[in-house]
Amino acid sequence: MKTLERRIRMETKDVQWLIKRYLDVEKLFQEFFAAWNYCATKCHVEGNVGCCDFDHFRLGYNLGKDFVTRFEAQRDKLYGRRPSLTERQFPCFYSSCQGCKLKTHRAPKCYAYICVPMRDELRKKYGIEIDYEQMMNCLERILSGELLDSEFSFLKQKIEAWVELIVKIQAKRRTE
Ligand code: SF4
Ligand code: SF4
């Protein structure tokens, strides 16, 4: 039944349903970066990733104009319209001295990319590996509706497990 419901929603391009699925995963990613808090300690950036060198918040056009328009309209409603090119102070419209202003509605690249030192620490200290290409593909497939329900659940469980592990290891270190 759930599979049928999902197929109908994809075929009728239920944009809101697709966005809701993406927001669920974004929430977990926000928890993950907040628990780890790497950028704040290494680059003195508050909040999450803050080195962004371009407008990576833009979605790929292969998602369809309708989808991109709805997604961006929701983002503008929540975070205000973007400043003009002449007013901007950072390479990305949503960058700030406190890190990224977006708590939701970022693009897949904003979550899939982490710098090399970050990736190394994640692997060495926590035993977690994030493959950029795989994660990008996975997040884009949530938005396009191609990610299977089983893959979606697996991804969510994986990020939840990462958060749990980071919190546990950090708590242990504090008592050592
Ligand atoms: S991703 Fe890396 S370079 Fe960018 S702000 Fe975080 S720690 Fe700094
Ligand atoms: S939206 Fe945020 S995370 Fe994405 S590129 Fe811009 S500042 Fe970076």
Q: What residues have CB less than 8 Å from 75, skipping those under 6 apart?
A: 57, 102, 104, 105
CA atoms within 13 A of residue 101's CA, in its CB half-sphere: 16
- What six digits make up the tokens of 6? 């999902």
Is 123 near ligand 1, meaning CB less than 6 Å away?
no
User: With b meaning 16 or more CB within 10 Å and e meaning fewer, what string describes 130-169?
Assistant: beeeebbebbbbbbebebeeeebeebeeebeebbeebeee
Is 43 near ligand 1, meaning CB less than 6 Å away?
yes
List the chain pLDDT tens, one digit each, 176 residues: 566 666 666 655 688 899 999 999 999 999 999 999 888 787 766 554 457 777 888 887 678 888 888 999 999 999 987 777 777 777 888 888 777 889 999 999 999 988 899 999 999 999 999 999 999 999 999 998 889 999 999 999 999 999 999 999 999 988 88
Is 115 near ligand 1, meaning CB less than 6 Å away?
yes
Stated pTM of the model: 0.87
> From ligand 2's centre to the CA of 173, what distance in Å?
31
Q: Which ligand is nearest to the CA of 54?
A: 2
Are 96 and 90 within 8 A, CB to CB?
yes
